[in-house]
Every structure is written in structure tokens, then in C-alpha cells.
Amino acid sequence: MATHHIREYHPEDYETVRDLFATGMSEYHAPARFWLVLRSPQTHGLLLGLFLATYGIFGSFLFSFAVLSALVAIGCIRIKATGRDHAEQALGGDMLDIQRTYLDATDCHFWVVERGREVVGTVAVMHPEDPIWQGRALQLKRMSVKKGHRGRGLSKTLTKAVLRFAQERGYKEVVLATSTVQYAAQRLYEGMGFQRVKELCPFLSEKLLQFYIYIYRYEFPRPR
């Protein structure tokens, strides 16, 4: 029976890795963000106010409900588009030339997880985007596990590979970014000893909906 194993990225993995990442973004991040928005008290207040205003003008419960339904549908489409934009930004950025970004660069790397001959997961490590970490930390990037292979400890194994890689090269810390809606990722990292050190919210609209980017840090124990 085939088992999972980790290996270095090969150039022939290019399309598979990019498809896996884009699919993961559409399968998980967009729906999670949609439900976060839908559960938000601010959203409830907006929808209620719109319903009452529409009913006050037209006097029709059916029409008012139709307007709300259309607004929710538009919001769903917009959130999906935002997820696609994030995926396209990554695919056109560091994942456009994976070999150059992660394999040719010093102290950077990219791994895949295989089950048999199928690539079912990825993780990468590179120099941090934030200059305050540069020189003392590496950044975990592009963690993704294919649906159907989640819940088997692959993300934890991939994270350990990154930690081992960084420690062997003399770095003191590993940092990463995750988001409000990535609950499983937060539990994983916190269970492995990562600490949340910063919350970022680039846009006011996301702050109102309480959507944050969380920065986590893992500090290697100092030798005694």
C-alpha cells in the first residue's frame, strides 16, 4: 500500500504544484471567508438595515428578501474573486519560477509530499518579507495539502521539515503568516510551539469584518 513521503521539488512538478495551491485556495479560503463575513455582526446590521429600508420603500417582504439574497450572492462572488486574486498574485510571484525562487536561492527550499506517484502536498521556506526578521529567521510559505489527504499529520510533518532545515542552517527562528479563518493551521502551529506575535489588517473593510493576518514565530531553544 502506498505511503506518504516528502522529497525535494522537481521541475516536472511545476503544473501539479501550482494547480494544487490554486485549488486549495478555492476549496478552503474563499468559503471560510464567506462564512466569516456572513456571521459578522456588522453584516447582520447591514442586511437588516437594507431589508427594513427596502420594505419601507416598496412595502413587499418578497421583494426585500430578493434584494438581500442578491446582495449575499454578489458578496459571495466578490469573496471568491478575492481568493482568486490572492492565488494569482502568488502564482505570478514567487511560484512563477519555483526553481529560481526556492531551489537556486541560498537557504531557500521547496518540498512536495507524494503518495505513490501523486503529489498531494507542498511547503516552502524562504527569506522573510519583513526586514525585521532577515538574517535571523526563515519564513514558512505555501503550505498546502490536497483534500482527501488532510487530517493525516502531513502539515505537521511538513512544518517539521522546515524547522529542521532552518535550524541546520543556523537560523534562530521560523516565522509564518496565516489568517483568521485558517483555524486548523492556527491549532497546528500553536500546538508545535509557535507563538502569535502580530496581527495585521491591511484594509479597513477587513478590519470591520474582523479578518486579520496573524504572524507566528517559532524560536529554537538556546543551547545550554
Q: Give residue-wise pLDDT tens across range 125-179.
A: 999 988 888 889 999 999 999 988 888 889 999 999 999 999 999 999 999 998 8
- Say whether both 140 and 215 belong to one domain: yes
Strand 173-179 and strand 118-126: the pairing is: unpaired
Characterize 212-224 residue by residue with b for buried, 16 or more Cβ atoms within 10 angstroms of its Cβ, and e for exposed: bebbbbbeeeeee
Q: Which residues pair with 214 in a beta bridge?
A: 178, 199
Q: Give residue-wise pLDDT tens across range 176-193.
A: 998 877 788 889 999 999
pTM: 0.76
Nearest residue to 164 via CA among 174, 179, 153: 174
- Number of domains within the chain: 2
Characterize 35-66 residue by residue with b for buried, 16 or more Cβ atoms within 10 angstroms of its Cβ, and e for exposed: ebbeeeeebeeebeeebeebeeeeeeeeebee
- Say whether both 68 and 145 belong to one domain: no
Query: Is residue 18 included in any domain, yes or no?
Result: no
